[in-house]
Amino acid sequence: MARLQGKVAVVTGAGAGIGAAICRAFAAEGAAVVAVDIAPGPLEGLVADVTGAGGRIAGLVADVAEEATAEAAVARAVSEFGGLHVLVSNAVLDLPLAPLTTLSLADWRRTFAVNLDASFLLSKHAIPVMERGGGGSIVLVASQQARVARPGRPWYCAAKGALVQLAKAMAVDHADQNIRVNTLSPGPIETGRYLKNFATLEAARASHHTLLGRLGRADEIAGGAVFLASDESSFMTGSDLLIDGGYTAV
């Protein structure tokens, strides 16, 4: 299991859920990882777990909405591990489910700062370093809700839809630098972030809306991220890898 041997990755939203699963999978496949999260406790736990398993990982506690975070993450990848080959922009900020008429402008802008602007900032600073190293792979974590909508999530659907188009545009602009850009779109995944929207675990699991009759697991999404980061997806750019259990099939 060394599909990412010799690669260095930056992963945001790394402290829990899908981000943590991606970090663990990347490290298990041989990558060195700079893990970024705004919450120090979960990030420290992740770093301890990966290091204890023999992986190479460095934690960075920071807000991805700040440009300084993108600069620091890329610089850390270079200084600590010698370069940068993979970027996974996964951080997300949730709001309570509600129609847009109830949202403040400040909340709307904050969600876009984390859910969309961060991908711009990270990519802006990662691409020159990737180019100097011969190329790389950028993965923007979108959602099945880039394609379909659910009640009370206008800010989420808008940002995730924008990520899909952003990846396509970046793929066009940076193909001649040997930099591939794709989105990874999970369906409903059984993580703490998803479960908090429901009163009980049973209610959350019953809400899946998938053809497979269940919520997905974070490790199932991490497998897709490994594929997009690895040379196995070398002929794939400007695409959206949808792993949604059939949520959008009907």
Return the CATH fold of 8-240.
Rossmann fold (3.40.50)
Distance CA 95, CA 93 (A): 7
User: What is the amino acid identity at position 176?
Assistant: D
Task: Give the count of beta carbons closer than 10 Å to the beta carbon of residue 104.
Answer: 9
Asked whether the beta carbons of 179 and 131 are under 8 A apart, the reply is: yes
Q: Report the Cα–Cα distance between both ends of the chain, in Å, rounded.
A: 36
Structure tokens at 43: 């990030």
Q: Give the pLDDT confidence score for residue 196 in this predicted structure.
A: 81
Tell me the Ramachandran region of residue 54: left when phi exceeds 0, alpha when psi lies from -120 to 50, beta otherwise: left
- Residues 101-124: pLDDT tens digits? 999 999 999 999 999 999 999 999
- Residues 7-63: pLDDT tens digits? 999 999 999 999 999 999 999 999 999 999 999 999 999 999 999 999 999 999 999
Distance CA 1, CA 243 (A): 22
Domain boundaries, the chain: 8-240
Q: Give the pLDDT confidence score for residue 204 in this predicted structure.
A: 84
Q: Give the pLDDT confidence score for residue 207 in this predicted structure.
A: 86
- Residues 210-223: pLDDT tens digits? 999 999 999 999 99
Q: Is the pLDDT of residue 1 over 80?
A: no
Q: Give the pLDDT confidence score for residue 197 in this predicted structure.
A: 78
Let me know the angle formed at the C-alpha of 32 by 27 and 37, rounded to the nearest 5 degrees: 85
Structure tokens at 54: 């023999």
- Residues 151-207: pLDDT tens digits? 999 999 999 999 999 999 999 999 999 999 999 999 999 888 887 878 898 888 988
Q: Give the pLDDT confidence score for residue 250 in this predicted structure.
A: 86
Residue 194 appears among annotated catalytic residues: no
Burial of 131 (0-12, 13-18, 19+ CB in 10 A): middle
Distance CA 93, CA 232 (A): 31
How many helices (H) does the chain have, and how many strands (E)? 9, 7
Residue of 26, 81, 156, 194 with catalytic role: 156
